[in-house]
Amino acid sequence: MSLFEVFSALQQQLAGRYPDFPADAVQPERCPAGMTGDLTVNCFRFARFAKLAPDRMAAETAEMLRAHPDVEDAQVIKAFVNVTLRPAALLRDTAAQLERLLNAGLLPVASRRKVLIEYSAPNTNKPQHLGHVRNNVLGMSLAALLKRVGHDVSEINLVNDRGIHICKSMLAYARYGKGETPASTGIKGDHLVGNYYVLFNKVLGEELSAVRGTHPEWADRDDEALFEETELGRAARQMLRDWEAGVPEVCALWRKMNDWVFEGFDQTYRRIGIHFDHTYLESETYLLGKDVIAAGLSAGVFQKRDDGAVTVDLGKMGIKVVLRSDGTSVYMTQDIGTTLRKVEDYTPEELIWVVGDEQNLHFQMLFAIMKKLGYAWADCCFHLSYGMVNLPTGKMKSREGTVVDADDLFDRMAELASAACAERAPETPAAELAARGEIIGLGALKFMLLKFNPRTTMLFDPEASIRFEGDTGPYVQYACARIASIERKAAEQKIDYAPDKVDWSLLGEATEKKLAIEAGFYGAVLQLAAERRDVSGLVEYLLNLAKAFNQFYRECPVLVAPSPELVRARLALAAAVRRILADGLATLTISVPEVM
RNA sequence: GGCCCGGUAGCUCAGAGGAUAGAGCAGCUGCCUUCUAAGCAGUUGGUCGUGGGUUCGAUUCCCGCCCGGGCUACCA
């Protein structure tokens, strides 16, 4: 059902005339720049349902449209019908009914679902970097979008807090830490632990070189293969065994260092605006899944191999081991177990995992296994797969220290933004500058990360990416701030521009109509983005709406418009646009400063 | 080798069976005594990797090839 009365009417007429005409065939689009018209109907798309040649369909459609009182003109070009609406009708169906427009994004109650989304999933051996930030921002914005269209969404984190990589930083700290703490050094906990992870790898590198020197015959073996040939590697492996055996000193060290990291993560999450409904710890879930394997084995879903390993035949994807020959679990076992735990805890109708694309196959396999095990929700699992973030210098590698640290990046963005604010408004108090810098800087970063299609391997060029002009978050925030400023002045002048006090038919300028039309697409954009589980369409839309506003702002003075009636009408239009822009940004988890 | 993803303007990226392929940045030209110039307007720049096929119509769909990335563990 179109927002526009004309097109709903057209849909009904066509459906009445042609029995096979689909319910949502009429989809008005924006009329391309340079063409005369406000909206356009592409008759190529539905001519076949009426069994008409496209040009005949267009002629008939145009005729119907011309007969409607809302239509000023309808021109046929090929099989497109370009429709010019009377301003009163155009505005009546869009900006004049702001609440309806904002609610157009909501799904019918029957299609709202209980959704569980898992993202972030950091390791507790190092601080988060830009790659994690992309994950976090994708996860939190998708959660916000799904909530925005009416779903019941729970956000969860699954922290990888155990394993050999955790023991690496623990071991380095135990040997070289001299008892230092975040408090004694003033270093944020996750960074302090991360420093020891880097130190471990440095020392390990030296030992590996030494081993290679004394054993030339191992030259072709990689670091992984030589890990246990080093003293440090063996010690780390022993530490993992001790941890699993519950050796008190090891467990105490593990607990202490994890607490430091969690404190650091909390700060980072708070700053970016994430709140998880629950955080699962791998140390508490890694043994899950084994019982399911046993059940699946007796049900014939899994097979026991001669060597004792349990496998599952996934056809084209191959044979996957789900239990080692020694009876211990692999990653897949754990993921099966934690998935079942999540379903038990939340009874979701849909499950989403935000995880990098290197795990595409893993998730295809996981979902296939769930389906084989007969779970009804197995068809409602979705892996939101995203590409890596590369730097101009190449890939980011934690071990080699070539990462863009999340906290540093936030600082840098906020500093640059507040410096830009200070330049524009030097009188502003420092605290206010800092607050604005935080909103604008973080907004710019989030917006930049969300502008890309998740699957693309994106390039982060610090010089080029840290910008506040052009296709950026601040561009959209700036449009909001401009409108807010106009609204403040209107309030001072006590101008009443409540929608019912406004003569909307006065808004007939090209930029006014274009702005109202763009605003009218908001609900459809939200729904499409939610359906695709991809917010990048919303990002694109907000840029277009902000751009349409800036053009309007240039060409149509609001407060100094020729007549008081026009002032009110333009004010009401601008105010409606600000609500939409702010709503859209909020759906991307980006806030808006009052002043820029 | 097999599977998956990508190759669109100098750069970073949109688009998608339909009307002349878009945006931002970079380059060049204009616009602040006018509601905030983080802005607006104009302009330069493209055989949409390549060869076939399907179609009234392909950059978009299908097949082959080339290039880049990922995955292909009893790692997580």
pLDDT for the residue numbered A80? 93
Using the CA of A490, give the nucleotide whose C1' is nearest.
B35
What's the farthest any 2 CA atoms get from each other in chain A? 91
CB A410 within 8 Å of CB A441? yes
Lookup result for tokens 């060597």: A307
DSSP assignment of A248-273: HHHHHHHHHHHHHHHHHHHHHHHHHT
Distance of C1' in B4 from CA in A19, Å: 42
CB A168 within 8 Å of CB A200? yes
**Is residue A401 over pLDDT 80?**
no
| Structure token digits, residue A450 | 């969300």
Distance of C1' in B31 from CA in A561, Å: 20
Closest among A360, A547, A318 to A454, alpha carbons compared: A360
DSSP assignment of A459-522: E--HHHHS--SSSSHHHHHHHHHHHHHHHHHHHHTT----GGG--GGG--SHHHHHHHHHHHTH
In terms of residues, how long is chain A? 596
What's the pLDDT tens digit per position in A494-537?
999 999 889 999 999 999 999 999 999 999 999 999 999 999 99
What's the pLDDT tens digit per position in A221-279?
888 888 999 999 999 999 999 999 999 999 999 999 999 999 999 999 999 999 999 99
Spatial distance between the Cα atoms of A54 and A43, rounded to a whole number of angstroms: 6
Query: pLDDT category, A97, cuts 50, 70, 90?
Result: very high
Residue A247: φ, ψ to 5°: -60, 125
Using the CA of A543, give the nucleotide whose C1' is nearest.
B23
Spatial distance between the Cα atoms of A321 and A309, rounded to a whole number of angstroms: 7
| Structure token digits, residue A234 | 């063996």
pTM exceeds 0.90 for this model: yes
**Integer CA distances (angstroms), A596 to A138, A433, A476, A487, in order:** 26, 10, 11, 15
**Integer CA distances (angstroms), A332 to A312, A386, A407, A466, in order:** 11, 20, 32, 39
* Other CB atoms within 10 Å distance of the CB of residue A224: 8
Q: Which of residues 497-516 of A touch strand B (CB under 7 A)?
A: none
Closest among A207, A441, A142, A553 to A561, alpha carbons compared: A553
List, in order, residues 6 or more apart from A313 with CB less than 8 Å away.
A303, A319
Instruction: State ipTM.
Output: 0.96
Query: pLDDT category, A398, cuts 50, 70, 90?
Result: confident
Q: Which of residues 216-235 of A touch strand B (CB under 7 A)?
A: 224
Spatial distance between the Cα atoms of A238 and A258, rounded to a whole number of angstroms: 19
pLDDT for the residue numbered A223? 85
Mean pLDDT taken over chain A: 94
A179 sits within 7 Å of strand B by its CB: no
Spatial distance between the Cα atoms of A533 and A88, rounded to a whole number of angstroms: 35
Distance of C1' in B19 from CA in A30, Å: 13
Query: pLDDT category, A35, cuts 50, 70, 90?
Result: confident
List chain B nucleotides near protein: any atom < 7 Å from a Cβ. 3-6, 11-15, 17-20, 22-25, 34-41, 56-57, 69-76
Mean local confidence (pLDDT), A346-364: 96
**Is residue A469 over pLDDT 70?**
yes
Share of chain A above pLDDT 70, in %: 100
Q: Are strands A39-42 and A29-30 parallel, antiparallel or unpaired?
A: antiparallel
| Structure token digits, residue A192 | 């302090």
- At A519, the amino acid letter reads A
pLDDT for the residue numbered A222? 82
pLDDT for the residue numbered A219? 76
Q: Which of residues 397-426 of A touch strand B (CB under 7 A)?
A: 417, 420-421, 424
Query: pLDDT category, A316, cuts 50, 70, 90?
Result: confident
What's the pLDDT tens digit per position in A189-229?
999 999 999 999 999 999 999 998 999 888 778 888 889 99
Distance of C1' in B30 from CA in A555, Å: 17
**Is residue A1 over pLDDT 70?**
no
